[in-house]
Structures are given as C-alpha cells and as structure tokens.
Amino acid sequence: MAVAVASGILRLIPSTRAVECGLPVPRCCSLRCSLFAAPIPSKIRLDSDSMLLILIFWISRYHSDAAITAPRAASPKTVEDGNSNETDTVPTPKVIIDQDSDPDATIVEITFGDRLGSLLDTMKSLKNLGLNVVKANVYLDSSGKHNKFAITRASTGRKVDDPELLEAIRLTIINNMLEYHPESSSQLAMGAAFGVEPPGQEVDVDIATHIDVYDDGPDRSLLVVETADYAGLLVDLVKIITDIDIAVQSGEFDTEGLLAKAKFHISYKGKPIIKPLQLVLSNSLRYFLRRPTTEEASF
C-alpha cells in the first residue's frame, strides 16, 4: 500500500503486492484484526500535524528492519498464581511447620524465592485434609516472598497435634509445589519420585545427619535433628522419640530443599533429658537415620 499526499488529503493507494497492516506479509502482526474489521476509505481529510504523524508511523513501519517478537505462549502446566522464570537460578523451596509461635494454631510458612502467588489451591488442599486456614499473610525479605498460614483442625478449632496429620500437611504442600512449580522438583527430595526432574545430586545421609540435645529450661530439653529429607520423616522421628518414653511437647519442622531440620521440645517425666538418656536418644535416631539398606539377595 502506498501513501500519497496532496492539498491536505491523505490518499491510500492499494498496491498489487499483498500486504497486511501496512507491512509485508512475513512481518504482519495481530494488528490486522483491528485494522481490517471495517473497510478503509479511499480519502481521509486530516490537518498537517496529523498527516505528518501518520506518515512517520507508516514509513517507520514499512522500512524498519527490526524483528517483531510475538509473546511466547505460557507453559501448558499452569502455575499456582505465581511467576516462573526458567532463565533464573531455581531458588531453594522451604516449608516450615511451626508449633511454637502460636498457642492456638499451627503456623505453616512456604517460600520459593519470589515465584509463589496467593496459593489458593494449596489452601483448598489443606481444607480437604479437614483443616481451616484462620489467618494468612505475606511478607517479603531478601530471601523472597513468604506465605504464612495459621491453620486449625476444622473439627475442634485447635492447632494440629497429630504427627501423621502434620506430615500430611507437609507432603500436601510439597506435592502442590511440584505440580504448579515443576522446576522445584530438582530441589526437593520428593522430586526424585514425583517431579519432572530429579535432584541432580543425592544427599549423603552419613554426612548430612546431625543430632544435638540442649538444655531448654528447668523442665525440658531441646532436640535438634538435621538429616536428608524423605516422605514420612516427621512421623518416624516422633515415633522413635516416644518409643523410649520421651514426651514431645512442641516443635518446628523445616523442609529446606533436600534437607529436613527438626526442633523438638522434649521431656522425660516432666523434667529435662539427663545425659545418659540423651545418649540413648541420639544413638537411636542416628541408627535409624543412617541404617544401611540390605539387599534381599544377601539373605
């Protein structure tokens, strides 16, 4: 299409070459839908300023060698209200289950850089476990965006104290992260079984496992366990502790990438754990967490 100007009249002269939007066909874009929705008149009366602007626009459009970049389609897997940038370094996902900071509710905190949104699907999944999200808030710091939920049991209105339900909460959150943010699978232990990309390296359990017991006031002790994460770990830890008649009062369980970090406030008959019992507890946990796998063929 050519443009001719004479006596204040802008005349559009059809060309024998097929064009769309005033551009050669290979460079045509989505403008044609709006430009060609109605017939184009052969004459348009414009003032001199308008003619100059239109001429500059068409000349720059027609002669520009710059490529027009079409927006890329979103991944077929919808992210959960979040942002996913494949070119960035994948952040370390973190899931914290806190039983200490609120006496009336279990606090859950989820972090995955700045990629998480409002997590509506995660809250719906928690509701399906028989839980209520009574409070939610978001805050930002140098490590990213932190989503925090205060949850209670729908049947009682109280905080969650069942280890199996706490583990179900943790695994539900991780499962949703793997589903809506598949890039997280390379940073999570569960990604090996359920993710699109397994972790690039396997954690050495012997090196990663650390167990410490500290004094924590006149009537309890603090047990700190760090080890390689796996599904069911929280339940196993509580079972090992209670099997030797040690009471678990409260605590915090953190999933940080491929590792799990647990803090339990523990006591024995209402008193701190004495040194000999600390040794029994540490050895029991260490044996269970570091135990070698035995091939069936060796029997």
pTM of this structure: 0.67
**What's the confidence (pLDDT) of residue 47?**
54
Domains (ranges, CATH) in the chain?
Answer: 91-201 (3.30.70.260), 202-290 (3.30.70.260)
pLDDT computed for residue 115 by the predictor: 86
Segment 92-134, tens digit of pLDDT: 999 999 999 999 999 999 999 888 877 889 999 999 999 999 9
Structure tokens at 69: 């970049």
Between 49 and 207, where is the model more confident?
A: 207
pLDDT of residue 90: 87
Work out the pLDDT band at 26, boundaries 50, 70, 90. Answer: very low
CA 231 – CA 195 distance, rounded (Å): 14
What is the per-residue pLDDT for 89?
A: 86
Question: By three-state DSSP, how is residue 92 classified?
Answer: coil
- Give 248-272 pLDDT, tens digit per residue: 999 999 999 999 999 999 999 999 9
Residue 43 has pLDDT above 90, yes or no: no
Residue 91: HSE in the Cβ half-sphere, 13 Å Cα cutoff: 20
pLDDT band (50, 70, 90) for residue 5 = very low
Task: Check if the beta carbon of residue 136 is closer than 8 Å to that of residue 98.
Answer: no
